[in-house]
Structure formats: C-alpha cells, structure tokens
Amino acid sequence: MGKIILYGIDPSPPVRAVKMTLAALELPYEYVSVNLFGKEQLSEAFIKKNPQHTVPMLEDDDACIWDSHAIICYLVSKYGKDDSLYPKDLLKRAVVDQRLHFESGVVFANALRAITKNLFFLGMKVIPKERIQAVVEVYDFVESFLKGHKYIAGDHLTVADFSLISTISSLTVFVEIDPAKYPNATAWIKLLEKLPYYSDNDVGNKQFIAGVKGTNFTIEQ
C-alpha cells in the first residue's frame, strides 16, 4: 500500500466523511490541515494537484483525488476487505450512489452551503426562511429513506451513512431534529454515534457548530 495523505480542515463535513471512511477501513494516513480562510488552497502547489482547489483532497502515491464522494468510493473499492461499505451488487450500489448524489446536490449544496457561504464568506447574518425550509425538507427526505431500514441505504452501514451524517449533524445548528417528528432519523443518528470512530465526525462538527454560532446569525421571521 502506498502512502495516503488527506488534505482538509476539521470542521468540513466532506472531510469528516473521508476521515470516517479511512477509520472504518483501518487505513493509516497523514493528515495535512489546509487553512481555507488563509487561502492556502489557492497556492500554486495545491492548485497543481487540484485545479478545483477544494478539500478534501486525497493523495495516494502519485494520484490526487478530490470530492469526498469520489474519495470514499475509491478507498473502499481499492482497500476494503469486502464490499459492504460500497457494494458491488449493481442495485445495492445504485441505492448508495443515489444517497451520495442526494447528499452532494440537495443536502450539502442546497441546504448547508447555501447558508454557510453567506455567513462565512459574504458577511450576511440573517438566514432567509426559505433556506431553513430547505433544511426541514432534507430531514423529511432522510426520515423517509430510513423507513423500515437501520441505515440510510438499507440494512447495512455504507459510505452513504458517513457522507450524510457529516452534513446532517452540521445542519442541526440551524434546525434541531425533533425525535417525535423524526424517530427514524433520531435512531439512525444514535446508531452511528456508537461507532468506535464516530469521533472523526464529532470533533470537527463541534468546531463547525462553534464557528457558526460565532457569527451570531439570526433567522428571518
């Protein structure tokens, strides 16, 4: 096995998803912290490796891979002792892929980043009501996905769980998950919190939540 290097920033949900995957696979790696606010990702050396200048980025020997979804699927496909985290069965894999695309396009981009970009980079302090409604819609979808299942893509833990829990746990700073309204989602979160490597998500998420609260945001009435 070659040397694996993960570039990231702890509060980032996508970085946390990769960390959980690496931990689940019991893969040793070097972690390089990238100061996004200091624009370290815009250095010539970083852009040469990743023209999109995003984190997480993974180096595996001479190969550079970015986007958390691509990274976690790559890691399981290459290093997994079995395919349980990313099934080879085409139908099971399609369900996992759907959840990953859901996380990417709906949960992260339309719900989380649509808020945090304004808070952290544009200096806006008031969150529009429609952005909060987008978070609620995410919770509604997740609750429906979990109906009759322990995990987000069925009855077995997959990389889709790592991807979604990292972002869902961050969204709770804006809208808490009501156990009465979302019993399936609540049970799923509690199940994942029991994973021996859940701290790979929890530590960074606490930093994320503290950072968001530090903006003193309010929600449009």
Nearest to 2 by CA among 47, 58, 44: 58
Closest CA to 3 of 83, 59, 74: 59
Q: Which helix (H) or strand (E) holds 186?
A: helix 183-193
Q: What are phi and psi of 65, to 5 degrees?
A: -130, 135
Catalytic-role residue among 12, 68, 166, 169: 12
Question: How big is the chain, counted in residues?
Answer: 221
148: left (phi over 0), alpha (psi -120 to 50) or beta: left
Q: Is 12 among the residues known to form the active site?
A: yes
Instruction: Give the Cβ contact number of residue 17 at 10 Å.
Output: 29
CB 21 within 8 A of CB 159: yes
Active-site positions read: 12
